[in-house]
């Protein structure tokens, strides 16, 4: 088979677009390796190979959109399609000041919320926010779990405040992203336009300008501020971005985006850091296969449980 044709088929296989005949051919090719002894590689060699595979696959994931539904998640997918078509949830601000609305997105679902003050929220999969029904006197909401992108309507007289665990973000009018997964070690606030002030539990505050991102490490209880990596906002376009993620963080993100429960019995895999990009429209098992292939691993699937091993 010609080299270019083989490359094309392999790219389609990784993106879930290969024909059944081509898929069987590649599956058989993978299977053939199980019967061959594999020469051990140094840690440095393994890392170089992993990076080479990643650098070649990433451009294809950025260029191509994958449009098939997750198995077993048809209901969530249907909701997502409706929301993508422009369905927006409008809050009513006529209730008592102490009442709030709790909004939660399902596995693989994103949701757009239009607030009464003109601000707009986009919730990532598996996210929960609490929003007061009356925001006339104080514009304040709480991220209970997950990730939310904000486009805040400017109102100098009434600051917009986002509570997310130990962090409190205050803005007048800007666009920013808050990552605050309850079970993920690192939290972040990333500014795409304007400025925000982020206050920590100890009372200290940091001002972030456009294209800056603050990261809070829960385990180490420290804060760092860096240039914004805009690829991390790819979730709004249906891309799950893993950037040096721990295995525990990987477990959380794969469950929220694909409904899969990842597990392993091998300490080496738990110690591995994971970097890749996956279309959230991919079939869940296919996404796990791509993730494993990039990191030179294998998977065993039992229902929604995926065991990763060498």
Last residue of a domain, one of 174, 206, 232: 232
DSSP 250: H
100 plus 161 within the same structural domain: yes
Distance in angstroms (rounded) separating the CA atoms of residues 175 and 153? 9
218 plus 243 within the same structural domain: no
Last residue of a domain, one of 232, 250, 277: 232
Model confidence over 109-146: pLDDT tens digits? 999 999 989 999 999 999 999 998 888 778 999 999 99
212 plus 102 within the same structural domain: yes
137 plus 57 within the same structural domain: no
Q: What is the mean pLDDT of the chain?
A: 81
Distance in angstroms (rounded) separating the CA atoms of residues 146 and 1? 46
44 plus 103 within the same structural domain: no
| In a domain? residue 106 | yes
- The whole-number average pLDDT for the span 245-263 is 97
pLDDT of residue 99: 84
pLDDT of residue 16: 61
| In a domain? residue 5 | no
Under 8 Å CB-to-CB from 43, ≥6 apart: which residues? Answer: none
Least confidently predicted of 23-37, 188-202, 274-288: 23-37
How many CA atoms lie less than 13 Å away from 98 in the CB half-sphere? Answer: 0
Last residue of a domain, one of 232, 266, 295: 232
Percentage of the chain modeled with pLDDT above 70? 68
147 plus 283 within the same structural domain: no
254 plus 182 within the same structural domain: no
pLDDT of residue 62: 47
pLDDT of residue 51: 57
How many CA atoms lie less than 13 Å away from 88 in the CB half-sphere? Answer: 13
91 plus 207 within the same structural domain: yes
Domain range for 264: 40-69+238-309
- The whole-number average pLDDT for the span 90-95 is 40
Whether the per-residue pLDDT at 17 is higher than 70: the answer is no
| In a domain? residue 139 | yes
| In a domain? residue 109 | yes
Number of domains in the chain: 2
pLDDT of residue 136: 79
209, 178, 175: which is closest to 195 by C-alpha?
Answer: 209
Whether the per-residue pLDDT at 210 is higher than 80: the answer is yes
Paired residues of 278 in beta bridges? 240
Q: How confident is the model at residue 27 (pLDDT cuts 50, 70, 90)?
A: low
Q: How confident is the model at residue 46 (pLDDT cuts 50, 70, 90)?
A: low
Please spell the DSSP secondary structure of 252-304, one letter per residue. HHHHHHH--EEE-S-HHHHH--EEEEEETTS-HHHHHHHHHHHTT-EEEEETT
Q: Provide the pairing of β-strand 128-132 with 100-104.
A: antiparallel
Q: The domain spanning residue 305 has which CATH number?
A: 3.55.50.30
pLDDT of residue 79: 41
- The whole-number average pLDDT for the span 68-79 is 42
Distance in angstroms (rounded) separating the CA atoms of residues 246 and 275? 9
| In a domain? residue 214 | yes
Least confidently predicted of 35-49, 204-218, 237-251, 295-309: 35-49
202 plus 136 within the same structural domain: yes
pLDDT of residue 66: 40
| The two three-digit tokens of residue 260, written as one number | 């899969």
DSSP 3-state of 160: strand
243 plus 188 within the same structural domain: no
Distance in angstroms (rounded) separating the CA atoms of residues 18 and 12? 5
| In a domain? residue 12 | no
108 plus 183 within the same structural domain: yes
| In a domain? residue 145 | yes
164 plus 213 within the same structural domain: yes
Considering the entire predicted model, what is its pTM?
0.68
Q: Angle CA(214)–CA(218)–CA(221) in degrees, nearest 5?
A: 80
Q: How confident is the model at residue 7 (pLDDT cuts 50, 70, 90)?
A: low
| In a domain? residue 29 | no
Whether the per-residue pLDDT at 83 is higher than 50: the answer is no
pLDDT of residue 138: 80
CB-count exposure of residue 15 (10 Å: 0-12, 13-18, 19+): buried
pLDDT of residue 8: 65
pLDDT of residue 137: 75
Q: The domain spanning residue 116 has which CATH number?
A: 2.60.120.1440
């Amino acid at each position: 088979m010609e080299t270019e044709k083989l490359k094309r088929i392999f790219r389609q296989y990784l993106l879930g677009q290969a024909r059944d005949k081509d898929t069987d051919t590649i599956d058989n090719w993978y299977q053939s390796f199980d019967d061959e002894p594999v020469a051990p590689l140094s840690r440095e060699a393994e890392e170089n190979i992993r990076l080479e595979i990643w650098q070649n696959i990433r451009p294809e994931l950025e260029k191509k959109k994958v449009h098939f539904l997750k198995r077993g998640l048809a209901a969530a997918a249907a909701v997502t399609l409706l929301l993508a078509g422009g369905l927006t949830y409008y809050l009513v601000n006529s209730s008592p000041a102490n009442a709030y609305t709790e909004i939660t997105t399902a596995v693989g679902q994103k949701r757009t919320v239009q607030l009464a003050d003109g601000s707009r929220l986009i919730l990532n999969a598996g996210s929960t926010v609490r929003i007061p029904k009356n925001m006339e006197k104080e514009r304040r909401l709480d991220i209970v779990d997950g990730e939310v992108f904000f486009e805040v309507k400017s109102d100098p007289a009434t600051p917009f405040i986002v509570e997310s665990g130990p962090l409190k973000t205050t803005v007048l009018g800007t666009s920013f992203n808050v990552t605050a997964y309850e079970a993920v070690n690192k939290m972040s606030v990333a500014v795409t336009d304007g400025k925000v002030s982020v206050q920590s539990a100890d009372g200290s505050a940091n001002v972030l300008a456009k294209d800056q991102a603050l990261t809070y490490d829960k385990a180490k209880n420290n804060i760092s501020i860096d240039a914004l990596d805009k690829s991390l906002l790819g979730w709004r376009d249906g891309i799950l971005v893993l950037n040096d993620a721990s295995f525990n963080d990987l477990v959380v993100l794969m469950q929220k985006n694909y409904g899969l429960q990842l597990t392993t019995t091998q300490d080496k895999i738990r110690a591995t850091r994971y970097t890749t990009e996956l279309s959230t429209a991919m079939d869940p098992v296919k996404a796990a296969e791509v993730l494993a292939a990039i990191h030179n691993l294998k998977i065993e699937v039992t229902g929604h449980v995926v065991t990763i091993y060498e």
